[in-house]
Amino acid sequence: MVEVSITQAFPHVISFINELDQDIEITVNYEWLPILCEHCKGMGHKASICKKKRSITGPAQQTWVPKTSVDGMWAKGKKQVVAADGFQKVVKGKKVQASVRNISEVNNSFGMLDSRFDMDQEQRQNIDEGEIPLSLMDRILCWNVRGINNHQKHAEIKKLINSKKIGLVSLLETKVKNKNIGVIYNRIYSGWCFMNNNPWVDKGRIMVAWNPCMYIIDIRVCTSQLIHCMAQSPHLNERFYITFVYGFNDEVGREMLWQELTRLASNIDEAWMILGDFNEILHSNERVGKKANKKPYESLRDCLLHCQMDDPKYSRCFYTWNNKQQAKDKVCSKIDRAVVNLKWTYAFLNSEVVFLPEGAFDHSPILVSFY
Q: State the pLDDT at residue 198.
A: 92
How far apart CA 18 and CA 139 sit, in angstroms, is 36
* Neighbour tally for 219: CB within 10 Å: 12
Mean pLDDT of 86-98: 58
Which of 5-9, 33-37, 149-153, 206-210 shows the highest mean pLDDT? 206-210
For residue 302, the model assigns a pLDDT of: 95
Q: Which domains, from first to last, does the chain contain?
A: 1-55 (no CATH), 144-370 (3.60.10.10)
Report the range of poorest mean pLDDT among 68-72, 87-91, 217-221, 287-291: 68-72
Is the pLDDT at 170 greater than 60? The verdict is: yes
Q: Give pLDDT, residue 74.
A: 45
Read off the pLDDT band of 103 (50, 70, 90): very low
Kindly provide the b/e burial profile for residues 21-48, where b requires at least 16 CB atoms within 10 angstroms of the residue's own CB: eeeeeeeeeeeeeeebbebeeeeeeeee
Per-residue pLDDT, 59: 55
The answer to whether residue 16 scores a pLDDT higher than 60 is: yes
Give tens-digit pLDDT for 174-187.
988 888 888 888 99
Residue 109 reports pLDDT greater than 70: no
β pairing state of 272-277 and 240-246: parallel
**pLDDT tens string 217-276:** 999 999 999 999 999 998 888 899 999 999 999 999 999 999 999 999 999 999 999 999
pLDDT of residue 368: 96
Does residue 108 register a pLDDT over 60?
A: no
Please answer whether residues 219 and 195 qualify as being in contact, where contact means their C-beta atoms are separated by less than 8 angstroms. Answer: yes
Pairing of strands 332-333, 321-322: antiparallel
Cα separation, 112 vs 295, in Å, equals 52
For the segment 325-350, what is each residue's pLDDT rounded down to a tens digit?
Answer: 888 889 999 999 999 999 999 999 98
Task: Find the DSSP H helices in 220-311.
Answer: 251-265, 298-307
In single-letter form, the type of residue at position 38 comes to E
* 126 — pLDDT class (breaks 50, 70, 90): very low
- Confidence band of 11 (pLDDT split at 50, 70, 90): confident
Give the confidence band of 112 by pLDDT, cuts at 50, 70, 90. Answer: very low
> What pLDDT is stored for residue 168 in this prediction?
96
What's the mean pLDDT in 299-322? Answer: 94
pLDDT for 147 equals 82
Given a contact cutoff of 8 angstroms between Cβ atoms, the answer to whether 335 and 280 are in contact is yes
